[in-house]
Amino acid sequence: MLLNDDRLFPAEPQTRGIARRLYGAVRDLPIISPHGHTDPRWFAENAAFPDPATLFVKPDHYIFRMLYSQGVRLEELGIARRDGGTVETDPRAIWRVFARHWHLFRGTPTRLWFEHAASSMFGIEERLTAVNADAIYDRIAEKLEAPEFRPRALFERFNIEAIATTEGALDDLKWHDMIAASGWGGKVVTAYRPDSVVDPEFEGFLDNLKALGALTGEDVFTWQGYLEAHRKRRAYFIQRGATSSDHGHATARTANLAPAERQALFEVVVKGEATPAEADLFRGQMLTEMAKMSLDDGLVLQIHPGSFRNHNARLFADFGRDMGADIPRQTDYVTALKPLLDAVGNEPKLTVIAFTLDETSYSRELAPLAGHYPALKLGPGWWFLDAPEAMLRFRELTTETAGFYNTVGFNDDTRAYLSIPARHDVARRCDCTYLARLVAEHRLDEDEAAELAHDLAYRLAKEAYRL
């Protein structure tokens, strides 16, 4: 068997028994997937996934990042080059490369996710190797042709109650419109990601501003016109189900400049003359502006700072953004978030969810902040922090000062559709393990732990994201 029923539970028998009971009550709860990068086109067209490599390997930067670190070229994995250069097009050849290197994923969450899908979805109970690669490929490929493996059928099989995709501010959201027009009942909503028209260092920023103006009919090269254009686009997204905005800035810096200072900074930005420091200041000002807009339109504000994005310059030049070269770095929150919190942090009807890649900030900064400001909540799962060890550390570092109810459940930031149930299963097991320890240490009664397990698996995410 690939999957042991007691995986991720404590080794100590009494505590393991408590974890089993807690998990048994939450394992089959509906999935709330409030922020991810699955493709809405899957649900709009409901076409069969073409092959195992396209399903598992090509969309998943967890996989190709590890392979690249061991000398596998992205061209070998069929990842499209910016210049249209030659890449591998045979999915079976891509799969064989993946299988030959499967040992690289020992002990990683990627192995947990993949083997969960292989066993639960395809009935595969042997570890992937170079020897059995073709046989496993054929088994998955055969299954993918069946109607029950179409995206909408899997949505229902996974018991997904709601899933949010993420689209840029300039997206026409045609796939979401197609989903709505289809009459299918699955809840697939969008999220507003305005980085391309908020970040002066984003490639093509000035052209993106022109496109924003064309879409909204606003003069985006004036400060008031620029803000109004964002309001209109947010409303457009809200009409298509959006309940949140998402902001992937390099730092957590926020700002709340005086009107004259805002105007002067904006004029530098729209001339394309902003220095790196001015670009960071402008991003910070826009986080505060977006928080103020959220008070009016109700969108939950998500902040994803702390990543040195596209760190590998050659990879970025050859393949573009989001190629697994986003590296965590130290992040300041106490000072950085203060201007935003001074402006709106005491508003109980506002929800600002802060994520981090810098675990050292949880107990020192983020948990005390979230344990005080009504508007601020903590999101535990993102990138490197969705490993089992990281999930347990999150609870250990934040519960003391933020408690459980200033967090928002599990947030699966995924591009690989079949890993969604696996990720939620890992999160539920880890939370039950943590709660079981509290019960075994007589810090919680088991009925309280059972209620908490339900809240962490389901209720907190649903309520925080207004889904």
Per-residue pLDDT tens digits for 145-181: 999 999 999 999 999 999 999 999 999 999 999 999 9
At 225-243, the pLDDT tens digits run: 999 999 999 999 999 999 9
Q: Are 350 and 344 in contact (CB under 8 A)?
A: yes
Would the pLDDT of 415 be above 80? no
Percent of the chain exceeding pLDDT 90 equals 88
Residue 256: HSE in the Cβ half-sphere, 13 Å Cα cutoff: 15
Indicate left, alpha or beta for 46 from its phi (over 0: left) and psi (-120 to 50: alpha): left
Give φ, ψ of 168 to 5 degrees: -70, 160
How many angstroms separate the CA atoms of 424 and 418, rounded?
11
Four-CA torsion 93, 98, 102, 106, nearest 10 degrees? 180
Q: Residues 64-74: what's their mean pLDDT? A: 95
At 300-321, the pLDDT tens digits run: 999 989 888 889 999 999 999 8
How many angstroms separate the CA atoms of 311 and 249, rounded?
14
Per-residue confidence (pLDDT) for residue 59, from 0 to 100 = 85
Would the pLDDT of 381 be above 80? no
Per-residue confidence (pLDDT) for residue 459, from 0 to 100 = 97
Within 298-337, residue ranges assigned H as helices are 313-319
The answer to which of 86-100, 133-147, 379-393, 398-412 has the lowest mean pLDDT is 379-393
Would the pLDDT of 31 be above 90? yes
Number of Cβ within a 10 Å radius of residue 248 = 19
How many angstroms separate the CA atoms of 111 and 226, rounded?
45
At 268-278, the pLDDT tens digits run: 999 999 999 99
Would the pLDDT of 263 be above 80? yes
How many angstroms separate the CA atoms of 289 and 254, rounded?
10
Q: Residues 206-215: what's their mean pLDDT? A: 98
Would the pLDDT of 134 be above 70? yes
Q: Are 334 and 345 in contact (CB under 8 A)?
A: no
| Highest mean pLDDT, choosing among 41-45, 357-361, 411-415, 417-421 | 41-45
Who contacts 142 (Cβ-Cβ below 8 Å, separation ≥6)?
A: none
Would the pLDDT of 382 be above 70? no
Q: What is the mean pLDDT of the chain?
A: 95
**SS3 (DSSP) at 393:** helix
Within 324-403, residue ranges assigned H as helices are 338-344, 361, 367-370, 388-402
How many angstroms separate the CA atoms of 320 and 204, rounded?
13
At 356-377, the pLDDT tens digits run: 988 889 999 999 999 999 999 9
Per-residue confidence (pLDDT) for residue 1, from 0 to 100 = 79
How many angstroms separate the CA atoms of 41 and 57, rounded?
18
How many angstroms separate the CA atoms of 286 and 255, rounded?
8
